[in-house]
Every structure is written in C-alpha cells, then in structure tokens.
Chains A and B, each alone.
Chain A
Amino acid sequence: MSLDLLDPPATAATIPVLEVDGLTVSYHDGADWHKVVHGVSFAVAPGEVVALVGESGSGKTSTAQAIIGLLPDNGRADRGTIRLNGTDIAGWPDKRLDAIRGKTISLVPQDPGSSLNPVKTIGDQLGEILRIHGWRDRNAIAARSIELLAKVGLSDPELRMRQYPHELSGGMKQRVLIAIAIALEPSLIIADEPTSALDVTVQRRILDLIDDLRREIGTAVLLVTHDLGVAADRADRLIVLQDGRIKEAGPTAGILTAPQDAYTRRLLADAPSLSAPAVQRRAPDAAADIAVTVENLVQDFDLPGTRKSFRAVDGVSFSVPRGTTHALVGESGSGKTTTVRTVVGFQRPTSGRITIAGTELGGLRGEALRQLRRKIQLVYQNPFGSLDPRQSVLGIVEEPLRNYQPVAADVRTKKASGLLERVGLGPELWKRRPRALSGGQRQRVAIARALVLDPEILVLDEAVSALDVTVQAQILALLAELQRELGLTYLFVSHDLAVVRQISDTVSVLKAGRQVEAGTVETVFHHPFDAYTRELIDAIPGRRLSGRAPVQKEPSA
C-alpha cells in the first residue's frame, strides 16, 4: 500500500525521526518580540512516543507548531535546527513544507469541534490529503478513505464518508482527524492535546487507538499534553517544559519514580489522578440538616418539529447535607448539567420535587424565584464565556449586589474587593477586563461573583474542567478552604472522577439520564457495583502512576 509515497532514508532505524536542537520561538505583539521557547532540544526515535508536558504558557504547543511550520502569523522560529529524518527543515518556506506535511509528518489538532470543515463531507476531507499528495484515481481514494475510517474504528465507514462533521460526536470527529493524520503513514504524528476536549472514557479509547496504530504502522508520536496522567500512561519518554525551557527529560518510569526538578514534583503533586485527596473529608453527618433535596427529578425536552420529546433526566434523586459536597458524575449527555440547571431554576422540571434550603422550588416564579437565587449560585464551566467582556473585574463581582435591595456604592465596592482578595486576586487586577486575565484568574472572578451574595449553596458545573492541572489544584484547594470557612454546600458536576474524588463527600453516577449508582465517595470508588462506574474509574488516566508511592501534599491519614 502506497509505500512508494513514503521515502524514509535507509538509515531510518538508526537516526531519530525528529531531532530538535536549540529551538527558539518568539511572538510579536505589535512592537516587540517576546521569546516563549528558549533553546529547546530533544529527539524522537522511530516508533517512540515522547510526551511534551507542561501547563499553558509553557511553550509546548509553540514547540509543536514550530516543528510542523504552523506557527501563527505573529510567531517565528528564531534559531535552532529541526531535523526530520536527518533533513533540516527549519526555515523551509510553506510551499516546500507542504510536500512533507501529511506525508512525513502530520498533526492531530486539539479541538475536534473546529478542526473539520463544516460544509464538506468526511469523505471529501479525508480524500483531500490523498489528492494533495498526488493520488489521482477517484476509486482508489474512496477505497483508501473507507479503509482508513474502518482502521480508526468508526462503524459503518461508507455512511461516514457521506456525513458532515455536525452529524458526528466529538470522539468520532477526533477519529476522523486521526484517520487524516495517518492516511499516508507518516514517520511522525504530532498530537496536540488530542483528547483534552473529550470525556474520560472517550479519551481512553482515542489514546488506545493512537497506541494501536503506532504499533501497527510504526509511527513515532510526539504527544503534547498538560495532563501528566495521560503522558505517564502513554509515553516512553517525558519532556517537562516550563516557561519555554526543558526542566527535565528522560524515560517516563524514571521521572515518575524519581523526579529531579521541583517543577516536575509540583506537576506530579497537582495531577488529580495521582495524589491523595487535598483535604481530609469529613464523613457526612447524618444529623446535619439537608441543604438540597432532589426527589425523582424528570426532565423532558420537546424535539423541535416532532411531537416527540427527549428524556434528558430520568428519575434522579439525591440529598446534600449542609456543608458537604455532592458530585454528579457522567459522560457528556448523561444529564448532569441538565439536572443542575433545573436545580438552580433555569428550567422547570417535568416532574419531581426540588427543595433548596427548605424552600420548594416547584411553585416559584418571577420575584420569588429571584429571591431564592440569593441562596443558590452557579459557577460555569467556561470562564471565558461566563464573564461579560465589557465589564471590569470589580464591576462583575459587584453586580449581584445591585440586583437586590439597594446597597451603597462604597459598601458594594468594599464587599466585592474583600471577596476578590479572598479568592486571591490583588487590586492590580480589579480594573482589568476579563480578556486580560488567565483562565484560572477568570474562574476566581466567577467564584467571587457567586459568593458575593453570601449564598448557602454553590453549584459548580465542570468548574475546573477547562483549567490546567496546576491551576485546577489551586482552585480546588480554594474551594475546599471556602467550604470550611463559610460552611458552604457544593453541588459539583464533573466528568473527571479524579477531581470528584478529591473534593466530594457523596457522589451520584449518571448515565443517559439515569442514576446508576450513588453513595459516599469511599464506597463508590472502592466498591463500585455498576459496570459503568467501573468503566469510568478505569478510564482515569495515570494508572501507571498509581502503582508507585503516592505524592502527598500534606501528611494525611
């Protein structure tokens, strides 16, 4: 099969597929050049999986983009050599790189949702890479495309060929992108956070797929990820990046058991799958009063254009004692977000009873519902979308106070600034707009806004899922601290069981709108009786790490 298109040098077995030496990357911001990658050097041997690990801003994506010549317009590789199969491709113009992109080196992009052209069929997009690299025979292209779709594990490949991206789920789109990346059996695949946008179970299947394909066609993989758990499970060697410099590099097992660098140790400690719970959780006190009760909640949605309806939540019940955390866990589409949106009163339940701090939600409308909202507040998943881009940080946090009985401007400012200090944002940030803040800072603003009305219950909808492990660990620690001090009750929604395990007392596992398991974290994690729960727990990345001595942040029992 098309071996003639591949042209690996005869010595491929002895020289590295990729050799990066002293790579420096800068970005231009109007006036000055800012260096983001400072002389990074590493090599990838044929068939090897190397992981570039670091938090956002560490330069891992810039490094990957520089290798394949896809830096944004305001970026450039200043210095260094990039040898692909022995040929230095640094500084090649785009036209020349086009000949090797896809054929010798290919990319699996980060966001499957926006990486496929919405107006072209899957077959067209898959065939395109073959056409670009000289395939002319239509039937051969179609046959190869179907073969590739089957290879990446998509059911009914003939049908997929005719479908458009919006007809596919996120995991299926990522499979299509992988099919495009392996179409010409390149010697190196760069996978830039290939599963960050996906659920844990889907993530596991996609990573398994990449693993299998690598073994089958002998491609080397450069895996770019912020998740040390993923890197630990999949990579032969790790390269830890911070601020554009390599902090530590070496075989995965060696780094995990004996990290040399302080930064690596911090990453290991922050990775949720690897560390012990951040704080010792109290056992829920049976005598404590109940903050939230949900009984037999059912939520139907009308399907537009039909008389049918879709049951998103089907008979979910749980209760949360005051001062504890209850987690709702499941894959996307399991009904967990729908459940909490009903609990905070954004939609009316089809049936079932919800009681919030002693008030029944069912009959409330208009003003009464507005008054109840003082007691229950929601923190959104995406800190980039939940803050008004035109308001200042202080304005955002003050706003809820302006919605209820009049509060004098100086009292408002005092309260809001106090809370901003409390969540760790200094006065120098208060006048900024959200776009001038990092993801973690934005999520702190969102938490401050949710707390400014002194609510009793905080609903956190995937509130840390969009953040880096290090930032995630900081926000989780902040949440735990706030809960201890203010006696808050949390309803915590997440697809990430590792995080849930750190912060929750009790947990409900949802699948397709049904509650398949519920109980204390201890019981559910150690003695899951439902097969789906076991599957979720097995999908947590970082298994290879769990075997070794746990890294603990503080001595705990």
Chain B
Amino acid sequence: MTTLDSAATDLATETGSASTRSIARSLRRLEPGLVLAWAVIVLVIAWALAPALFTGYSAVDGVAAAKLQAPSAAHWLGTDQLGRDLLARIIYGSINSLSGALAAVAVGLIVGTGLGLVAGSVGGRGEDAIMRVVDVLLSIPGLLLSLSIIIILGFGAVNAAIAVGVTSIANFARLARAEVVRVRRTDYVEAAFGSGGTFRSVLVRHILPNSLTSVLAFAALQFGNAILSISTLGFLGYGAPPPTPEWGLLIAEGRNYIASAWWLTSFPGIVVVVVVLAANRISRAIRKAGQ
C-alpha cells in the first residue's frame, strides 16, 4: 500500500498547508473523473481488506444446483460452472490482484529507482555500467521476461508478482536517472554543495525529494499495468492456482463457457479495465500536481 498511501499523503499535505479558502476553492475545482477514479480504487481496496462486508456468498464453495446462472437479483453478476457467486469471487479475488500488483510495483520502484538514483548521482563509468544493464533489460519483451523468471522461480502468486515487478525495473531506473540528472544540474543542488553539503546530505535533502514526483506518478501508472500483467499471467496459468479467485484466472476459467455464460469473462474483464483506467487517471493527477 506504500505507493498509494504516500501519494495520498502527498496530496493531503498539499491541501493541508493551504488555507480553508483555497480548500473550498480546490473542492469546487475537483474533477469528477478523478473523484470517480479514487472512488474505484478505494472500493477495490475495501474489497481486499474486508470482503465479507460486501458479499454473503463464499468465494470457493459453490451450490451445485445454482450453476451457470445468469445475473439476477440473488446473484448480481451470475454464477459459474460450480455454482459459485461471481461477484463474491471478484470481491475475494481483489486481495490477490491488488497485493500482487503492489508487490510488483514495490519491486520495480525500490530496485529501479535505487539503480536510477545511484546512476544519476555518481555519473561517469558507474552510470554507464548501470544504464547498459538497464538497456539490456529493456530490450527483452516484458511478457517474455516475466515468463522466463516464473519458469526459473516456479509458479505461484508471489513469483508472478516478482516477475512482473522485474519487467518494470528498467523503466523506473531510466525515469529516476533522468529526473536525478535534471535536478543535479540545478543551481540549488550546486548551492547545497557550495554551502558545505556532503554527497549524502544533498542526495537526501534535495535530489531525492525533487525527483520523486514523476517516479510516484509512474508508480501509480505501473500499478494499473501490473494488475493487467498479473491477470495475463493468471490467465495463462502461471499465477495463483485454482480455486484461488484471482481476476486473470476468473477470465481464463470463464473462457470455456463463453458461448453460454458471457458474464463469466465479461465482468472480471470489466473490473480489470476499470481499475487500470482509475490507476492511470490518478497517475496523471499526481504528475500534474507535481508540476
């Protein structure tokens, strides 16, 4: 949850430091799309934290008599071939997809930003060495890289998350390095060295805070992509094993009944799309706020 939370506190301190008048003004200026995006993310997080509050059905135990039912008042999104409520499975599945995406973003954010920060700060040979490794990483197609890593590490939800995370390391590293190089050239960084700052103190006080906004925006964007990638791996069968209600797996399982039970693939698919779009929208807002 670190990424989203720190982004949220960032936004909160922005408004918090302003006067009440400007809070009222920013409320009036709120963009409906952004509010909706946050609402979607908050709802999905709530699903992940307390699924029992949102549905009375079980995610794994079905009622054989009620199999493959179309959406109705009793089962809002219908049931699957084992008579399990689809909505319940999506709700209980959110924890798998979200935690997987968060772990993936965390891997990319920490390793990638770390590499980029070091590369941008030290410069010279060290920078060249790191960035060439990153270029190699970037040249391998993402899905291929994920699959290779999963095959080395073995199947499973955690490994799928790590595999997705590794593919974003290169992007995080490039972005972080570019930002650091930009900030490093500014007068205030030189002034900080000029007033006796050591390498470490300047890095922590000036370079890191000023290069982080773009990285955070990218992390939010990457969060959406990670959900998509993890669902892809789940769909291909490399992720969490059945009967885990992971979103990608739900779509894969529903595929067998696509002719008779359209809801089994459509609704999980729509949920994935909506969450990814919401993450993208929030990412754009963070980037804008940082400018």
Contacts and interface: CB of A to CB of B under 8 A. Distances in A.
Interface stretch (A271-279, A355-363, A369-377, A486-494): A369-377
B190 A346 contact: yes
B120 to A, nearest CB: 17
Place the interface of chain A in its size category: 20 to 34
B215 to A, nearest CB: 14
B210 A389 contact: yes
Nearest to B206: A388
Contacts of B54: none
B143 to A, nearest CB: 35
Nearest to B186: A385
Given A31-B25, A388-B188, A399-B205, A404 B194 contact: no
A27 interface: no
A4 B133 CA distance: 64
B31 interface: no
Contact of A30 (B25, B190, B194): B25
B196 A386 contact: no
Contact of B195 (A31, A385, A391, A400): A400
B209 interface: yes
Nearest to A434: B188
A30 B206 CA distance: 30
Interface of B is mostly: helix
Contacts, number: 60
Interface in A363-384: 370-371, 373-374, 377-378, 380, 382
B191 A390 contact: no
Contacts of A378: 191, 194
A476 interface: no
Nearest to B185: A385
B196 A403 contact: yes
B194 A377 contact: yes
Nearest to B210: A390
Interface in B138-194: 186-188, 190-194
Contacts of A107: none
Contact of A399 (B28, B29, B192): B192
A103 interface: no
B201 interface: yes
Given A346-B190, A386-B188, A453 B25 contact: no
Nearest to A452: B195
Contacts of B188: 385-388
B191 A449 contact: yes
Contacts of A389: 210
Interface string A523-552: 000000000000000000000000000000
Nearest to B26: A30
A385 B183 CA distance: 10
Contacts of A382: 187
Interface of A is mostly: loop
In this complex, the member of A380, A388, A403 whose beta carbon has the largest number of chain B beta carbons within 10 angstroms is A388
A277 to B, nearest CB: 30
In this complex, the member of B188, B195, B206, B210 whose beta carbon has the largest number of chain A beta carbons within 10 angstroms is B195
A446 B192 CA distance: 11
Interface in A80-136: none
Contacts of B16: none
Interface string A432-461: 000000000000001001100100000000
Given A30-B29, A370-B198, A373-B196, A386 B187 contact: yes
A387 B30 CA distance: 31
Interface string B236-260: 0000000000000000000000000
Place the interface of chain B in its size category: 20 to 34
Contacts of B205: 388, 391, 399
A373 B195 contact: yes
A35 B244 CA distance: 63
Interface string A401-412: 011100000000
Contacts of A385: 186-188
Interface string A30-58: 11000000000000000000000000000
A344 interface: yes
B210 A388 contact: yes
B29 A380 contact: no
Contacts of A30: 22, 25, 29
A74 to B, nearest CB: 13
Contacts of A373: 194-196
Given A30-B25, A385-B188, A402 B194 contact: no
Nearest to B194: A378
Nearest to B21: A31
A382 to B, nearest CB: 6
A376 to B, nearest CB: 9
Interface string B13-42: 000000001100100110000000000000
B197 interface: yes
Interface string A238-263: 00000000000000000000000000
Contact of B209 (A390, A402, A403, A446): A390
B198 A403 contact: yes
Contacts of A450: 195
Nearest to A370: B196
A380 B187 contact: yes
A82 B245 CA distance: 70
B195 A399 contact: yes
Contact of A404 (B186, B187, B196, B210): B196
Contacts of A391: 205
Interface in B192-236: 192-198, 201, 205-206, 209-210
Nearest to A389: B210
A373 B195 CA distance: 6
Given A370-B198, A399-B205, 17 more contacts: A31-B25, A31-B28, A346-B190, A370-B196, A377-B195, A380-B187, A382-B187, A386-B191, A388-B192, A388-B210, A390-B210, A399-B197, A403-B197, A403-B198, A446-B191, A449-B191, A453-B196
The 8 A-B residue pairs with the shortest CB-CB distance, nearest first, are A400-B195, A403-B196, A386-B187, A385-B187, A388-B188, A380-B187, A373-B196, A31-B25
18 contacts: A30-B25, A31-B25, A31-B28, A370-B196, A370-B198, A373-B196, A374-B196, A385-B187, A385-B188, A386-B191, A388-B205, A399-B192, A399-B197, A403-B196, A403-B197, A449-B195, A450-B195, A453-B195
